[in-house]
Chains A and B, each alone.
Chain A
């Protein structure tokens, strides 16, 4: 397994955002994380790459235990890429520069090499002609594709997607899902928080259903969607599948 999470608790003040979460994720798996808002999905994702420090429990990524020493955090973040709901591209840099910055300063790649890798990835997400454009001049869908390419430039083994299409206009969702679909096909290990059930069913291997800071149900996608065991899962699914 490439990710192992055991008894993770994360508090924000009195709120237990994660209340004893345990799970394992295998290399090459696409795991869909579902759950109502405030159920701890985002916090769970952010604990996987160390953006949030867990209060107790263990997170092991690619054999490294996340203990919040600085060097470990940096290594883990080079192993895991994350794509945010709000894209978080660097607005003062062009698409190309967004992709090359961390390659140069974190991985120490030569500018030529970094550009070559960046261009290849921009091509892959269908935006090579936008390489010299600043994010403000890109549509939401284009920005999110650049953000995915930026993460991929670090050659991660795992990609986290935290509601990657929730901030997008409906007509732009497809182009982002298409890129994610390609990635899954190439065997990338992915953890995806999404409400796009069509995508989940098509691409996902497994579902983790979260509620109130816990994983209340997990299983193969078809099984959970067809026969949810838990009442809370059933309730939630009936809402999202209708919508």
Chain B
């Protein structure tokens, strides 16, 4: 029993050493994709609530289409479809696909956050002569931020997990490295156990960070009174 245990630990250690170099790629994909998704999502969300149909209708269609297609299919479509025409490498195609997919979800979160703000806030800002852009920037978005924070951090964690899907187009991130290891050594259970554990570790850190931010904004907050 003891011998088996030590051998097992050694295997797990070897797997970990093999996988660790792939972690930065997972982090890189996650951070870049989420940053783009946030920027795009903010634009999509603002367009959704725009009184101007030139913005609101296309953004609505965008959200419906993107949300209705599995991320894996979008990754394949962008890499194998568009990628061949536009000559995209795996990294660009992967990050683009994840960004686009998550921008639709984040767009909806931004929309709901803006719509949660009482219309009196818009009226007060307009009555002081502020333009719609100034109103959004100085009055509405700062109030929407703490409201959407929990949902946005959920999406961040989901982005990290879904970054594993880009392994399917051959980008060597954590999940891809796991596949490489087990196809070489055939230790299926242990490999995916360690891969899962690493993801869990990263998402754990993120969710702690998220609750810290939520607390911080509640403490420094203004009670919505």
Contact = CB atoms under 8 A, between A and B. Distances in A.
Interface in A88-135: 88-92, 101-102, 105-107, 134-135
A102 B143 contact: no
Given A88-B124, A106-B134, A136 B223 contact: yes
B128 A135 contact: no
Contact of A74 (B120, B124, B129): B129
A92 B128 contact: no
A1 interface: no
Interface in B126-159: 126-131, 134, 138-139, 142-143
User: Counting chain A CB atoms within 10 Å of each CB, which of B120, B121, B126, B129 scores highest?
Assistant: B129
Contacts of B120: 84, 86, 88
A88 B130 CA distance: 15
Contacts of A107: 129
B134 A51 contact: no
B223 A106 contact: no
Interface of B is mostly: helix
Contacts of A90: 121, 124-125, 139, 143
B222 A74 contact: no
Given A84-B120, A105-B134, A77 B127 contact: yes
B225 interface: yes
A84 B126 CA distance: 13
Given A88-B120, A90-B124, A78 B225 contact: no
Interface string B47-60: 00000000000000
Nearest to B117: A91
Interface residues of A, number: 30
A216 B223 CA distance: 44
Contacts of B128: 77, 81, 101-102, 106, 150-151, 154
Contacts, number: 72
B224 interface: yes
B14 interface: no
B10 to A, nearest CB: 55
B224 A102 contact: no
Contacts of A86: 118, 120
A77 B224 CA distance: 26
B123 interface: yes
Nearest to B135: A105
A154 B124 contact: no
A51 B123 contact: yes
A136 B222 contact: yes
A91 B146 CA distance: 12
Nearest to A89: B124
A134 B139 CA distance: 14
Interface of B: 118, 120-121, 123-131, 134, 138-139, 142-143, 222-225
Given A84-B123, A91-B223, 15 more contacts: A51-B123, A51-B126, A51-B127, A70-B131, A81-B127, A88-B124, A90-B143, A91-B225, A102-B128, A102-B130, A105-B138, A106-B129, A106-B134, A134-B222, A154-B128
- Nearest 9 CB-CB pairings of A with B: A136-B225, A102-B128, A88-B124, A136-B223, A88-B120, A106-B129, A134-B222, A77-B129, A78-B129
17 contacts: A51-B126, A74-B129, A74-B131, A77-B129, A81-B127, A81-B128, A84-B124, A90-B124, A90-B143, A92-B142, A92-B222, A101-B139, A102-B125, A102-B130, A136-B223, A150-B128, A154-B129
